[in-house]
Amino acid sequence: MTAELDAIAQKMVADGKGILAADESSGTIKKRFDAIGVESTEENRRDYRELMFRSEAMTKYISGVILYEETIRQKAKDGTPLVSLIEQAGSIPGIKVDAGAKPQPAFPGETITEGLDGLAGRLKEFYDLGARFAKWRAVIDIDTAKGIPSYGSIRANAHALARYAALCQEAKIVPIVEPEVLMDGSHDIDTCYQVTEWVLKTTFEELYYQRVRLEGMVLKPNMIVPGKKAAKQASVAEVAEKTVRVLKSCVPSVVPGIAFLSGGQSDEDATAHLDAMVKLGGLPWKLTYSYGRALQAAPQKAWAGKAENVAKAQAAFTHRAHMNSLAALGQWSSEEERKAA
């Protein structure tokens, strides 16, 4: 079983390929659809995701797709299971299994991700439906004025991530471990560094205690960036240098790969930061992308819920995936971005 897990984890971070995060909850996809004037019906959600799964991007630049519980059970218009479309493209189906971040008792302003109850049974069902990896997101906010994050909150979230990861591996499913330090707020880049270091070290400590096989997992962290409201923003070079530095100090070299979340960055910023990190070289693990908005904002806008726009939306998705593929290889440039647009 360990060899199978390791092989899947390696395939998830294959050279020049990344993971599409298409696991938006019903509430989140509704917000995305509201922004483009599309009603969030089951059929529209199906049609939108189907257009991505049938695109050129899937065969060339996408190693895996994180699905929402609704999507893993859906069929395309022609009756083909959406999971089968992903597999036919040579990509790996995955599943979001957490139940979302909820307010944490005794820790005002902080959250704990729920979903451990009954997870073993759900994982078996998802495996039978075709999922070979899973995702669990822990959310860590920064508010220094309120003393956030706290030790208790970080420890609780890291423990839940580790228990989830252990259950996944027992079910022959590769866990994506996602401890996200949010870029909301006005904190500077050094505060993000310090909190991320704390979160990552605590997470790997808990993974060790739960006997999680690090060779059979993928880490999905935030990049080291200042808060959106920070007075001073950071250069691409500074983000890359500080992100790589904190990862080298916290992430064991046996972890096969790190697939970054975009966390609210603009499409091009997320691409540029990844490229700059890869270009630094000397890394013990693969670096790639696991983006949601940074891959999907352009195709959603191009599609706008109209069947006649499907090809245009697929082209927009393929373009963004191509740019991020180049970044994961350290071959992206702003000139390449303009030329391919």
Choosing from 178, 180, 206, 337, the catalytic residue is 178
User: Is 220 considered catalytic here?
Assistant: yes
Backbone angles phi and psi of 32, in degrees to 5: -65, -45
Choosing from 11, 96, 135, 220, the catalytic residue is 220
Residue burial 222-239, b: 16+ Cβ < 10 Å; e: rest: bbbbbbeebeeebeeebb
User: Is 229 considered catalytic here?
Assistant: no
CA distances to 62, 70, 305 from 300, in Å: 18, 19, 8
What residues are labeled active site?
Answer: 178, 220
